């Protein structure tokens, strides 16, 4: 067996409407269907890439958001190619009032880190180099500050 690609992500969420609106209206995912307790999204690459299932409860606390523990750290979504894609996305996030928790130049990507309404960390990145195709270890370059 060989995994060909990451197919989709399923998140249990506290409030379906709030979370589905964030992924659709803030991040621009195309909503395929929303029928309580689920919402299904795709960027068009495949049948679905994100499924939200409402389970209720409370979003993560500020302490939990920064706690290093086993489990999911963040989800990365490619937003385009080239440094301009990251700059445009950064400006759009600022305009929409999304809290940006960090930006990083990873050498092969420029990344913007945000939290969704339930406190899940998301990395929105643009590929800025294809060096990783020649040298897969290029992704391990020391991260540098990124000003957008």
* pLDDT single digits (tens) 49-66: 999 999 999 988 877 877
Is residue 64 assigned to a domain? no
Q: Are residues 41 and 99 in the same domain?
A: no
In this structure, are residues 67 and 119 in contact, taking their beta carbons and an 8 Å threshold? no
Instruction: Report pLDDT digits (tens) over 13-28.
Output: 999 999 999 999 999 9
Report the pLDDT value the prediction gives residue 61, as an integer from 0 to 100: 83
Nearest residue to 138 (alpha-carbon basis) of 147, 128, 146: 128
Is residue 132 assigned to a domain? yes
What is the number of other CB atoms lying within 10 angstroms of the CB of residue 22? 21
Report the pLDDT value the prediction gives residue 71, as an integer from 0 to 100: 82
Q: What is the pTM of this model?
A: 0.91
What SS3 state is found at 112?
strand
Provide the number of structural domains found in the chain: 2
Is residue 68 assigned to a domain? no
Report the pLDDT value the prediction gives residue 137, as an integer from 0 to 100: 92
Q: Are residues 78 and 109 in the same domain?
A: yes
Report the pLDDT value the prediction gives residue 109, as an integer from 0 to 100: 96
| DSSP-assigned beta bridge partners for residue 77 | 124
Report the pLDDT value the prediction gives residue 19, as an integer from 0 to 100: 97
Q: Write the burial class of residue 96 (CB in 10 Å: 0-12 exposed, 13-18 middle, 19+ buried).
A: exposed
Locate 95 and state its tokens.
């305009």
Is the peptide bond prior to 37 cis by the omega test (within 30 degrees of 0)? yes
CATH of the domain at 16: 3.10.180.10
Is residue 13 assigned to a domain? yes
Is residue 16 assigned to a domain? yes
Range of the domain at 24: 1-56
Locate 100 and state its tokens.
């940006």
Q: Which residue stretches of the chain have pLDDT < 70?
A: none
Is residue 94 assigned to a domain? yes
């Amino acid at each position: 067996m060989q995994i060909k690609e990451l197919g989709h992500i399923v998140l249990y969420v506290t409030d379906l409407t709030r979370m589905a609106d964030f992924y659709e209206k803030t991040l621009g995912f195309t909503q395929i269907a929303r029928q309580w307790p689920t919402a299904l999204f795709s960027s068009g690459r495949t049948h679905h890439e994100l499924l939200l299932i409402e389970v209720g409860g409370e979003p993560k606390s500020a302490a939990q958001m920064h706690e290093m523990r086993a489990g999911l750290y963040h989800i990365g979504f490619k937003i385009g190619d080239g440094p301009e894609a990251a700059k445009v996305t950064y400006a759009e996030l600022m305009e929409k009032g999304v809290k940006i928790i960090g930006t990083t130049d990873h050498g092969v990507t420029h990344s913007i880190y945000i939290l969704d309404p339930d406190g899940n960390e998301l990395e929105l990145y643009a590929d800025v180099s294809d060096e990783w195709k020649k040298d897969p270890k290029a992704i391990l370059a020391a991260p540098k500050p990124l000003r957008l």
